[in-house]
Amino acid sequence: MKISPSILSADFANLQQGIELVEKNGVDYIHVDVMDGHFVPNITFGPNVLQAIRPVTKLPLDTHLMIENPEDYIDAFAEAGADIIGVHAEATPHIHRAIQMIKNKNVQAEVVINPGTSINSIYHILSMIDQILVMTVNPGFGGQSFIEESLDKIRQLADLRDEKGYHYDIEVDGGIVPETATRCKEAGADVFVAGSYIFGAEQPEKRIQLLKEAISE
Protein backbone atom coordinates (compact mmCIF):
# COMPACT_ATOMS: atom_id res chain seq x y z
CA MET A 1 0.00 0.00 0.00
CA LYS A 2 1.38 3.37 -0.99
CA ILE A 3 0.49 7.00 -0.27
CA SER A 4 1.03 9.63 -2.95
CA PRO A 5 0.34 13.17 -1.66
CA SER A 6 -0.83 15.54 -4.42
CA ILE A 7 1.08 18.82 -4.38
CA LEU A 8 -1.90 20.44 -6.11
CA SER A 9 -3.06 21.31 -2.59
CA ALA A 10 0.39 22.32 -1.27
CA ASP A 11 1.52 25.91 -0.85
CA PHE A 12 2.96 26.71 -4.30
CA ALA A 13 5.20 29.38 -2.80
CA ASN A 14 6.78 26.71 -0.56
CA LEU A 15 6.70 23.53 -2.61
CA GLN A 16 10.07 22.34 -1.30
CA GLN A 17 8.91 22.65 2.30
CA GLY A 18 5.68 20.75 1.57
CA ILE A 19 7.49 17.94 -0.23
CA GLU A 20 10.12 17.59 2.51
CA LEU A 21 7.44 17.44 5.18
CA VAL A 22 5.52 14.60 3.55
CA GLU A 23 8.72 12.71 2.68
CA LYS A 24 9.86 12.93 6.30
CA ASN A 25 6.53 11.40 7.34
CA GLY A 26 6.98 8.25 5.30
CA VAL A 27 4.91 8.67 2.15
CA ASP A 28 5.81 6.67 -0.96
CA TYR A 29 5.41 8.97 -3.98
CA ILE A 30 4.97 12.66 -4.76
CA HIS A 31 1.94 13.13 -7.01
CA VAL A 32 2.31 15.92 -9.56
CA ASP A 33 -0.93 17.05 -11.24
CA VAL A 34 -0.20 18.57 -14.64
CA MET A 35 -3.16 20.50 -16.09
CA ASP A 36 -3.33 22.41 -19.37
CA GLY A 37 -6.53 24.46 -19.23
CA HIS A 38 -7.94 22.44 -22.17
CA PHE A 39 -8.32 18.82 -21.13
CA VAL A 40 -9.33 20.14 -17.70
CA PRO A 41 -10.41 23.67 -16.79
CA ASN A 42 -7.34 24.48 -14.69
CA ILE A 43 -3.65 25.16 -15.31
CA THR A 44 -0.81 23.98 -13.08
CA PHE A 45 2.74 22.78 -13.67
CA GLY A 46 4.93 22.23 -16.73
CA PRO A 47 8.11 20.17 -17.07
CA ASN A 48 10.20 23.06 -15.68
CA VAL A 49 8.47 22.81 -12.32
CA LEU A 50 9.00 19.06 -12.27
CA GLN A 51 12.67 19.57 -13.04
CA ALA A 52 12.90 22.11 -10.21
CA ILE A 53 11.41 19.76 -7.61
CA ARG A 54 13.36 16.69 -8.81
CA PRO A 55 16.45 17.40 -6.62
CA VAL A 56 14.28 18.18 -3.59
CA THR A 57 13.16 14.57 -3.01
CA LYS A 58 14.35 10.99 -3.44
CA LEU A 59 10.75 9.81 -3.80
CA PRO A 60 9.38 8.77 -7.19
CA LEU A 61 7.55 11.59 -8.98
CA ASP A 62 4.12 10.19 -9.85
CA THR A 63 3.17 12.46 -12.74
CA HIS A 64 -0.46 12.70 -13.83
CA LEU A 65 -0.83 14.42 -17.20
CA MET A 66 -4.27 16.01 -17.55
CA ILE A 67 -3.42 17.44 -20.94
CA GLU A 68 -4.52 17.13 -24.54
CA ASN A 69 -2.06 15.55 -26.98
CA PRO A 70 0.00 13.99 -24.17
CA GLU A 71 2.35 12.41 -26.76
CA ASP A 72 3.79 15.89 -27.39
CA TYR A 73 5.01 16.20 -23.79
CA ILE A 74 5.96 12.68 -22.66
CA ASP A 75 9.65 13.11 -23.53
CA ALA A 76 9.84 16.48 -21.77
CA PHE A 77 8.36 15.13 -18.54
CA ALA A 78 10.52 11.99 -18.67
CA GLU A 79 13.66 14.08 -19.16
CA ALA A 80 12.59 16.44 -16.37
CA GLY A 81 12.67 13.48 -13.95
CA ALA A 82 9.25 11.83 -13.86
CA ASP A 83 9.36 8.23 -12.57
CA ILE A 84 5.78 7.37 -13.44
CA ILE A 85 3.84 9.11 -16.22
CA GLY A 86 0.07 8.78 -16.45
CA VAL A 87 -1.87 9.64 -19.60
CA HIS A 88 -5.63 9.85 -19.86
CA ALA A 89 -7.36 7.35 -22.15
CA GLU A 90 -9.75 10.20 -23.05
CA ALA A 91 -6.96 12.62 -24.04
CA THR A 92 -5.62 10.81 -27.10
CA PRO A 93 -6.95 8.54 -29.86
CA HIS A 94 -3.58 6.74 -29.64
CA ILE A 95 -3.36 5.55 -26.05
CA HIS A 96 -1.39 2.43 -27.06
CA ARG A 97 1.25 4.59 -28.75
CA ALA A 98 1.39 6.97 -25.76
CA ILE A 99 2.04 4.03 -23.41
CA GLN A 100 4.77 2.73 -25.74
CA MET A 101 6.38 6.19 -25.76
CA ILE A 102 6.48 6.25 -21.94
CA LYS A 103 8.02 2.78 -21.79
CA ASN A 104 10.60 3.74 -24.42
CA LYS A 105 11.81 6.43 -22.01
CA ASN A 106 12.26 3.78 -19.27
CA VAL A 107 9.57 5.41 -17.18
CA GLN A 108 6.72 3.51 -15.54
CA ALA A 109 3.62 3.74 -17.71
CA GLU A 110 0.23 4.57 -16.29
CA VAL A 111 -3.16 4.91 -17.95
CA VAL A 112 -5.78 7.12 -16.29
CA ILE A 113 -9.55 6.87 -16.65
CA ASN A 114 -12.17 9.44 -15.74
CA PRO A 115 -15.23 8.52 -13.66
CA GLY A 116 -17.36 8.32 -16.84
CA THR A 117 -14.97 6.01 -18.70
CA SER A 118 -15.44 2.27 -18.68
CA ILE A 119 -12.54 -0.15 -18.42
CA ASN A 120 -13.55 -1.63 -21.82
CA SER A 121 -11.76 1.27 -23.50
CA ILE A 122 -8.41 0.26 -22.00
CA TYR A 123 -8.87 -3.50 -21.90
CA HIS A 124 -6.32 -4.11 -24.67
CA ILE A 125 -3.49 -2.19 -23.01
CA LEU A 126 -3.84 -3.65 -19.53
CA SER A 127 -1.01 -6.13 -20.12
CA MET A 128 1.40 -3.25 -20.91
CA ILE A 129 0.87 -0.92 -18.00
CA ASP A 130 2.58 -0.57 -14.64
CA GLN A 131 -0.17 1.41 -12.97
CA ILE A 132 -3.78 2.37 -13.64
CA LEU A 133 -5.24 5.49 -12.10
CA VAL A 134 -8.96 5.29 -11.46
CA MET A 135 -10.15 8.87 -11.02
CA THR A 136 -12.58 8.96 -8.13
CA VAL A 137 -13.58 12.57 -8.94
CA ASN A 138 -13.75 14.43 -12.23
CA PRO A 139 -10.22 15.75 -12.83
CA GLY A 140 -9.30 19.42 -12.57
CA PHE A 141 -9.59 20.43 -8.95
CA GLY A 142 -8.79 19.30 -5.44
CA GLY A 143 -11.32 19.12 -2.63
CA GLN A 144 -14.18 17.32 -4.45
CA SER A 145 -16.34 14.48 -3.13
CA PHE A 146 -15.50 10.84 -3.81
CA ILE A 147 -17.65 9.21 -6.54
CA GLU A 148 -19.01 5.92 -5.16
CA GLU A 149 -19.44 4.22 -8.55
CA SER A 150 -15.63 4.13 -8.88
CA LEU A 151 -15.51 1.20 -6.45
CA ASP A 152 -16.99 -1.16 -9.05
CA LYS A 153 -14.24 -0.29 -11.52
CA ILE A 154 -11.55 -0.90 -8.91
CA ARG A 155 -13.04 -4.34 -8.19
CA GLN A 156 -13.20 -5.20 -11.90
CA LEU A 157 -9.57 -4.16 -12.40
CA ALA A 158 -8.42 -6.14 -9.36
CA ASP A 159 -10.31 -9.24 -10.60
CA LEU A 160 -8.83 -8.89 -14.10
CA ARG A 161 -5.34 -8.56 -12.63
CA ASP A 162 -5.79 -11.82 -10.70
CA GLU A 163 -7.43 -13.63 -13.56
CA LYS A 164 -4.91 -12.63 -16.26
CA GLY A 165 -1.79 -12.29 -14.13
CA TYR A 166 -1.26 -8.60 -14.95
CA HIS A 167 1.20 -6.63 -12.84
CA TYR A 168 -0.32 -3.15 -12.57
CA ASP A 169 -0.91 -1.24 -9.35
CA ILE A 170 -4.33 0.33 -8.98
CA GLU A 171 -4.17 3.97 -7.90
CA VAL A 172 -7.14 6.06 -6.74
CA ASP A 173 -7.34 9.82 -6.78
CA GLY A 174 -9.98 12.28 -5.60
CA GLY A 175 -11.85 12.64 -2.33
CA ILE A 176 -9.46 10.26 -0.57
CA VAL A 177 -9.76 10.41 3.23
CA PRO A 178 -9.34 7.47 5.65
CA GLU A 179 -12.91 6.25 5.18
CA THR A 180 -12.86 6.27 1.35
CA ALA A 181 -9.30 4.91 1.32
CA THR A 182 -10.39 1.89 3.38
CA ARG A 183 -13.20 1.13 0.95
CA CYS A 184 -10.90 1.53 -2.07
CA LYS A 185 -8.38 -0.77 -0.42
CA GLU A 186 -11.08 -3.39 0.19
CA ALA A 187 -12.03 -3.11 -3.50
CA GLY A 188 -8.41 -3.75 -4.54
CA ALA A 189 -6.59 -0.39 -4.70
CA ASP A 190 -2.86 -0.19 -3.87
CA VAL A 191 -1.89 3.48 -4.25
CA PHE A 192 -3.78 6.36 -2.62
CA VAL A 193 -3.49 9.96 -3.81
CA ALA A 194 -4.56 12.58 -1.29
CA GLY A 195 -4.30 16.32 -1.78
CA SER A 196 -6.50 18.49 0.40
CA TYR A 197 -6.75 15.86 3.14
CA ILE A 198 -2.98 16.09 3.69
CA PHE A 199 -1.91 19.56 2.59
CA GLY A 200 -5.11 21.30 3.68
CA ALA A 201 -4.52 20.26 7.30
CA GLU A 202 -2.76 22.18 10.05
CA GLN A 203 -0.83 19.03 10.91
CA PRO A 204 -0.29 17.05 7.70
CA GLU A 205 1.81 14.51 9.62
CA LYS A 206 -1.24 13.44 11.66
CA ARG A 207 -3.31 13.07 8.49
CA ILE A 208 -0.64 10.89 6.88
CA GLN A 209 -0.64 8.68 9.98
CA LEU A 210 -4.45 8.33 9.88
CA LEU A 211 -4.35 7.42 6.18
CA LYS A 212 -1.64 4.84 6.84
CA GLU A 213 -3.73 3.27 9.57
CA ALA A 214 -6.80 3.20 7.31
CA ILE A 215 -5.04 1.33 4.53
CA SER A 216 -3.10 -1.06 6.72
CA GLU A 217 -6.09 -2.37 8.70
> Which residues are known catalytic residues?
33, 173
* CA dist list (Å): 70 to 62, 94, 209: 15, 10, 35
* Residue of the chain from 176, 184, 189, 208 that contacts ligand 5SP (CB under 6 A): 176
| 194 lies in the binding site for ligand 5SP (CB under 6 A) | yes
Q: Decide: 25 and 208 in contact? Cβ < 8 Å.
A: yes
Q: Is 200 annotated as a binding residue?
A: no
The reply to whether 114 sits near ligand 5SP by the rule CB under 6 A is: no
d(CA 159, CA 146): 22
Q: Please, which of residues 33-72 interact with ligand 5SP by CB under 6 A?
A: 33, 64
Between 146 and 168, whose beta carbon lies closer to ligand 5SP?
Answer: 146
Q: Which of 6, 63, 108, 131 binds ligand 5SP (CB under 6 A)?
A: 6
Distances (CA, A) of 80 to 67, 85, 139, 140: 17, 11, 23, 22
Residues that bind ligand 5SP (CB under 6 A): 6, 8-9, 31, 33, 64, 137, 139-144, 173-176, 193-197
